[in-house]
Amino acid sequence: MLIVTAKVPRRKLAFGVAAAALVCCACLVTALGAGPAGLPAARETSGAAQPDPKGVRSNADRVAYLEGCGWQLVDEKPAATEELLIPQEMDDSYDDYLELQRSQGFDLTKYAGKRVKRYSYEIANYPTGETGVIANLLLYKNTVVGGEVLSPRLDGFLHGLILPQEPAA
């Protein structure tokens, strides 16, 4: 058996994790740009306006923000909380993810080089009935600066925070 250890500074480790997460999200957006079968494209929404992204200080504020986007949560406690570093320079692999954020009114490029927190919540009311769907909120200080709804399944999807329209019967 071979065991390898390495000493990696926390800053580089956080950067690597953030970069990997953003690349994965960008790949999902590229691969699944139109959304899941039977659901409208990511930009079509139920007509709900996105809640005010400022002043999101507590867990209750984050839950209220997601509820304002049309979601009901399985649990009001986040399933995961992570600190991420937005890369200082973003290459072409981030284009689709950045476009998804821009389509929601968020500009992640303004936060390049900054640390953000990602709060993940499991959604209970996804229109297809799928379980395990996650809503992520990216916060810088007390402001929502990005987010997405995704399915972690292999054939999953990624789209904006606003609840999509119900599939046509």
pLDDT in single tens digits along all 169 residues of the chain: 445 444 545 554 444 444 444 444 444 444 444 344 433 333 334 445 678 888 899 999 999 999 999 999 999 999 999 999 999 998 998 999 999 999 999 999 999 999 999 999 999 999 999 999 999 999 999 999 999 999 999 999 999 999 887 543 3
Residue 3 lies inside a defined structural domain of this protein: no
pLDDT, position 164 = 83
Q: How far apart are CA 141 and CA 24, in angstroms?
A: 24
Q: Is residue 21 part of a domain?
A: yes
Please tell me the predicted confidence (pLDDT) of residue 50. Answer: 75
106: in domain: yes
pLDDT for the residue 49? 65
Does residue 20 lie in a domain region? yes
According to the model, what pLDDT value does residue 111 have? 95
Does residue 167 fall inside a structural domain? Answer: no
Inside any domain, residue 4: no
The parent domain of residue 124 ranges over 10-159
Is residue 105 assigned to a domain?
yes
3-state helix, strand, coil in the chain (%, to 5): 30, 20, 50
- State the number of CA atoms in the 13 A half-sphere of 82 facing the CB: 16
Residues 6+ positions from 16 with CB-CB distance below 8 Å:
none
For the chain, how many structural domains are there in total? 1
